[in-house]
Amino acid sequence: MQFNKDSLYANPLGEITTFKFDDAVVNVFPDMIQRSVPGYSAIISAIGLLAGRFSQSHSQCYDLGCSLGAATLAMRDQITAADCRIVAVDNSAAMVERFKRNLAVDEAKASIDIQCADIREISIERASVVVLNFTLQFVPVADRARLLEKIYRGMLPGGILILSEKLAFDNERQQALQVDMHHHFKKMQGYSELEISQKRSALENVLLAESFDVHRRRLMAAGFDSAEIWFQYFNFASMIALK
Ligand SMILES: C[S@@+](CC[C@H](N)C(=O)[O-])C[C@H]1O[C@@H](n2cnc3c(N)ncnc32)[C@H](O)[C@@H]1O
Ligand SMILES: O=C(O)C(=O)C[C@]1(C(=O)O)C=C[C@@H](O)C=C1
């Protein structure tokens, strides 16, 4: 896999265009997400561990918004259940093409089905594990409940949904502090003030963060039995919802 350094927002941009998962982002994505999402590696490892525990024989594990497949590969390494297939879906053709290319040179044999599709339009069937790792935040808010209801319906009893998201906070001081600390985190990772502010503008109206309360209520309304945060680092969190 290539690990190019993310410098997409390093120079002043006359016009800051809306953030897209295009070729330019694909080229730097592993570096970008690692340096932008506090705790990203820990979350990826834990997705593998959870998939090892929750994957059932004759079931499917879904990685929705898979990008280059980091969560897919972590799951594959830990799944021991028989006849268990991983379905990895992303609607960015650039991401899917690169993921397929990376997988082709990967030696391990595994049942991974990579699809270029909108996760709002696919069917979810016999799912023991479903991963939405920093994907739901890019789905229009109005479509989120329907998507989670579809996921719930497609899950087997005993199934798990792992939902990681950038969070927003109702309390103004908390919101200001957590956003500020995230920016400090990015600075510590080598991003300049200019890179941080230009990326922030590009993500405006594209990445729509909600509070844990809103997520929990939506998950419970979709039918889940429980929903809790298992990991949080500033305004980035990962939740577990159980069927
Ligand atoms: C932040 S990235 C996800 C990172 C990835 N899950 C990981 O763990 O490395 C968000 C991904 O969701 C995809 N995405 C956003 N909306 C989508 C949709 N409606 N259907 C399918 N994929 C979507 C984007 O193309 C992008 O690759
Ligand atoms: O909030 C930011 O600054 C981010 O860069 C976050 C984030 C994300 O949460 O998905 C946004 C886009 C990229 O995919 C990588 C990270």
Quote the domain boundaries for residue 161.
40-166+212-242
Q: Tell me if 92 CB under 6 Å of ligand 2.
A: no
Calpha distance 212→223 (Å, rounded): 17
Question: What is the predicted pLDDT for the residue at 2?
Answer: 55
Number of the ligand closest to the Cα of 68: 1
With respect to residue 205, please indicate whether it lies within any of the assigned structural domains: no
35 CB near ligand 2 (under 6 Å) = no
Q: Counting atoms of ligand 2 from 1, which one is nearest the CA of 32?
A: 15
Residue 103 is assigned to a structural domain of this protein: yes
The pLDDT, as a whole number, for residue 218 is: 98
Q: What is the pLDDT of residue 38?
A: 98
In a domain, 23, yes or no: no
Distance 84 CA to ligand 2 centre (A): 30
Give me the tens of pLDDT residue by residue for the chain, a chain 243 residues long. 557 999 999 999 989 999 999 999 999 999 999 999 999 999 999 999 999 999 999 999 999 999 999 999 999 999 999 999 999 999 999 999 999 999 987 766 568 999 999 999 999 999 999 999 999 999 999 999 999 999 999 999 999 999 999 999 999 999 999 999 999 999 999 999 999 999 999 999 999 999 999 999 999 999 999 999 999 999 999 999 999
Q: Is 200 annotated as a binding-site member?
A: yes
What is the number of the ligand 2 atom nearest to the C-alpha of 200? 3
pLDDT value at position 112? 95
CATH number at residue 122: 3.40.50.150
Question: What is the rounded distance in angstroms from the CA atom of residue 40 to the CA atom of residue 133?
Answer: 9
Which is nearest to 122 in space by CA: 189, 191, 63, 210? Answer: 63
- Tell me, what's the pLDDT at 6? 96
Looking at the domain assignment, is residue 162 inside a domain? yes
11 known member of a binding site:
no
What is the model's pLDDT at position 105?
A: 76
Tokens of 113: 């089905």
With a cut of 0.95, is the ipTM above it?
yes
**Residue 65 belongs to some domain of the structure:** yes
Q: Are strands 127-133 and 60-64 parallel, antiparallel or unpaired?
A: parallel
Number of structural domains the chain divides into: 1
Span from the CA of 152 to the centroid of ligand 2 (angstroms): 26
Q: Is residue 114 annotated as involved in ligand binding?
A: no
151 belongs to a structural domain: yes
Of 32, 67, 70, 65, nearest in space to 202 by CA: 32
Instruction: Let me know if residue 49 belongs to a domain.
Output: yes
Q: Is 43 in the pocket of ligand 2 (CB under 6 A)?
A: no
What is the rounded (10 degree) CA torsion for 207, 212, 218, 224?
Answer: 120
Within a domain: residue 45?
yes
Alpha helices by DSSP H, 105-156: 141-154
